[in-house]
């Protein structure tokens, strides 16, 4: 298990790699700076791919080549949700309910939300593109400010003028 910080225009993210690939990507926080470790040689390529992909994704563009993800900690249901998330293109959104239906779990919208919250690789696994069925934002474990920022970078300004205004 190796951790490295990734400096971006939005701050320093913290990437955690296992022998299988990228296991988590944490949003910038004060705690990140203390945890810096030099990347081991064997994960240097994955680290490079992660840096490039994150930079693109933060710009609202398709991330291009991705490192392998280590999602082994997730349940089968969670992994199926995360796979569905990766199929949502930048600039597009789905509702929790739509994801549930696509997985043949009608009525499982709430469980989908829970699985989104369990996503350890935000931004690259785009849980921010999932909104409530009524068009409102829904939640975001990294903080709604991030969800809004990421959506706006992808050109989704319609998140609801109401929603944006009601945040202050």
Inter-residue contact 33 to 128 (CB < 8 Å): no
Question: Does position 41 bind DNA by CB under 7 A?
Answer: no
Catalytic-labelled residue, pool 81, 115, 127, 131: 127
Beta strands 130-131 and 94-95, pairing class:
parallel
> Least Å distance between CB 11 and DNA?
18
In whole angstroms, give the CA distance from residue 106 to residue 92.
21
DSSP 8-state class, residue 12: E
Inter-residue contact 129 to 151 (CB < 8 Å): yes
- Residue 127 annotated as catalytic: yes
> Least Å distance between CB 114 and DNA?
4
| 47 vs 113, beta carbon nearer DNA | 113
> Least Å distance between CB 157 and DNA?
19
Residue list 67-86, contact with DNA (CB under 7 A): 75-78
φ and ψ of 74, to 5 deg? -85, 155
9-17, 49-57, 59-67, 137-145 -> range binding DNA (CB under 7 A): 137-145
Question: Does position 142 bind DNA by CB under 7 A?
Answer: yes
φ and ψ of 92, to 5 deg? -115, 160
- Which of 55, 26, 60 has its CA nearest to residue 152? 60
In whole angstroms, give the CA distance from residue 88 to residue 131.
12
> Least Å distance between CB 163 and DNA?
10
- List the one residue from 43, 108, 148, 156 that touches DNA (CB under 7 A): 108
Query: Where does this chain bind DNA (CB under 7 A)?
Result: 75-78, 95-97, 105, 107-117, 119, 122, 127-128, 130, 132-134, 138-142, 166
Catalytic sites, residue numbers: 127
């Amino acid at each position: 298990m190796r951790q490295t910080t990734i400096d971006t225009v939005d701050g320093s993210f913290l990437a955690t790699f296992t022998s299988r690939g990228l296991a988590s990507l944490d949003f910038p926080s004060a705690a990140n700076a203390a945890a810096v470790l030099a990347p081991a040689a064997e994960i240097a390529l994955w680290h490079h791919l992660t840096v490039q992909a994150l930079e693109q994704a933060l710009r609202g563009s398709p991330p291009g080549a991705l490192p392998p993800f280590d999602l082994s900690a997730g349940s089968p249901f969670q992994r199926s949700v995360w796979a569905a998330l990766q199929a949502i293109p930048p600039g597009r959104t789905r509702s929790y309910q739509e994801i549930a239906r696509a997985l043949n779990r009608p009525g499982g919208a709430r469980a989908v939300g829970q699985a989104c919250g369990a996503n350890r690789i935000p931004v690259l696994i785009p849980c921010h593109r999932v909104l409530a069925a009524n068009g409102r934002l829904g939640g975001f474990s990294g903080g709604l400010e991030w969800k809004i920022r990421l959506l706006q970078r992808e050109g989704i300004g319609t998140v609801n003028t109401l929603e944006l205004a009601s945040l202050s």
